[in-house]
């Protein structure tokens, strides 16, 4: 009787939501363990944003005009929100390459053969990437402080607003990793996923208010920059950090940047998670 009862308990269907959460956490743990065993993945992920901070701060710092000032300190404070946002969005390429690598090795097929929630593999992967992104942001914030970035340089702020800004960055980064997941499932090799994950990010990040004041752009380009989801996150961070360069544009995302950043990120997650899970169900290695 006991054996029969145990068998029934084992085969009884569990709550789909709890199963999805449990399976996602298991996959996330697997990816985090893998990252810890390949430390160069984390190290190389840290080098690029640090290089951007140093190069933009010291090479372009004295040449950019922010609010009528060419002070390198003002530009450094203006720049950091853009660098933070660029860093979290560039994690997209890594997410896509990782999933494409799993596809190429047949690991995804093995996961699909297991009795687990369909979206758990992708959710677990994106959660692991979120942890890595959070670590990168932490290190980058320390580097930014060392080169002279300060919160509250253009007004008043507080710890809650600063933490809120980093929360928006992580939410945006998590949203963009779902775009990477879809790209990784749609290509045949990790190399193609890396290229596909980066090629569209450059216009998204550079046609924005990340590195220059969008008011200095031509009118048609300024409208694109003001309605760019990436720009909304950058603007929201400048507002919460109280850094210079806060936009005077009449565009709704610039006037309500915090809400715009949240809405854009949630929409991206809903749309691209749905598409990625659908692609996962039909994908073949």
Q: Give dist(CA 202, CA 269) in Å, integer.
A: 20
Q: CB–CB of 231/254 below 8 Å?
A: yes
Q: Are 112 and 202 in contact (CB under 8 A)?
A: no
Give which of 268, 112, 107, 273 is closest to 181, Cα–Cα: 273
Give dist(CA 263, CA 38) in Å, integer.
35
Q: How far apart, in whole angstroms, are the C-alpha atoms of residue 80 and residue 238?
A: 9
CA dist., res. 108 & res. 94, Å (int): 17
Residue 215 is given by DSSP the state: G
For residues 213 and 211, give the distance between their C-alpha atoms in angstroms, rounded to a whole number.
7
In total, the chain counts a number of residues equal to 285
Q: Which pLDDT belongs to residue 116?
A: 77
pLDDT under 70: residue ranges of the chain: 1-14, 61-71, 283-285
Q: What is the pLDDT of residue 5?
A: 42
pTM to 2 decimals? 0.86
pLDDT the model gives residue 62: 61
Residue 272 has a pLDDT of 94
pLDDT in tens, 185-213: 888 788 888 888 788 998 999 999 988 88
Domain ranges in the chain are 20-282
Residues 6+ apart with CB under 8 A from 156: 242
Q: Which two tokens stand for residue 259?
A: 């809400």
Q: Are 165 and 82 in contact (CB under 8 A)?
A: no
The whole-angstrom distance between residue 97's C-alpha and the CA centroid of its chain comes to 15
Of 19, 213, 44, nearest to 114 by C-alpha is 19
> What pLDDT, on a 0 to 100 scale, did the predictor assign at position 70?
60
Cβ pair 194, 96 in contact under 8 A? yes
Residue 206: closest CA among 195, 216, 214, 194: 214
- Which pLDDT score is estimated for 57? 76
Q: Which two tokens stand for residue 19?
A: 């199963």
């Amino acid at each position: 009787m006991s054996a029969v009862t145990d068998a029934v308990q084992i085969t009884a269907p569990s709550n789909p939501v709890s199963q999805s959460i449990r399976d996602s956490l298991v996959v996330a743990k697997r990816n985090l363990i893998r990252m810890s065993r390949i430390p160069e993945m984390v190290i190389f992920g840290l080098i690029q944003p640090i290089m951007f901070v140093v190069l933009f701060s010291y090479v372009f710092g004295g040449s950019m005009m922010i609010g009528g000032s060419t002070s390198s300190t003002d530009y450094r404070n203006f720049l950091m929100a853009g660098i933070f946002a660029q860093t979290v969005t560039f994690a997209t390429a890594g997410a896509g390459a990782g999933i494409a690598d799993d596809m190429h090795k047949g690991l995804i097929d093995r996961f699909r053969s297991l009795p687990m929630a369909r979206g758990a593999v992708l959710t677990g992967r994106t959660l692991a990437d979120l942890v890595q992104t959070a670590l990168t942001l932490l290190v980058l914030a320390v580097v930014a402080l060392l080169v002279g970035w300060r919160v509250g340089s253009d007004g008043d702020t507080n710890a809650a607003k600063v933490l809120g800004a980093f929360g928006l960055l992580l939410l945006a980064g998590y949203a963009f990793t779902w775009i990477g997941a879809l790209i990784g499932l749609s290509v045949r090799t990790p190399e193609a996923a890396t290229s596909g994950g980066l090629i569209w990010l450059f216009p998204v990040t550079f046609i924005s208010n990340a590195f220059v004041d969008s008011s200095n752009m031509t009118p048609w380009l300024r409208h694109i920059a003001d309605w760019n989801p990436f720009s909304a996150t950058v603007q929201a961070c400048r507002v919460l950090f109280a850094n210079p360069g806060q936009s005077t544009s009449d565009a709704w995302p610039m006037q309500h940047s915090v809400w715009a950043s949240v809405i854009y990120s949630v929409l991206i997650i809903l749309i691209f998670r749905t598409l990625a899970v659908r692609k996962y169900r039909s994908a073949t290695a």
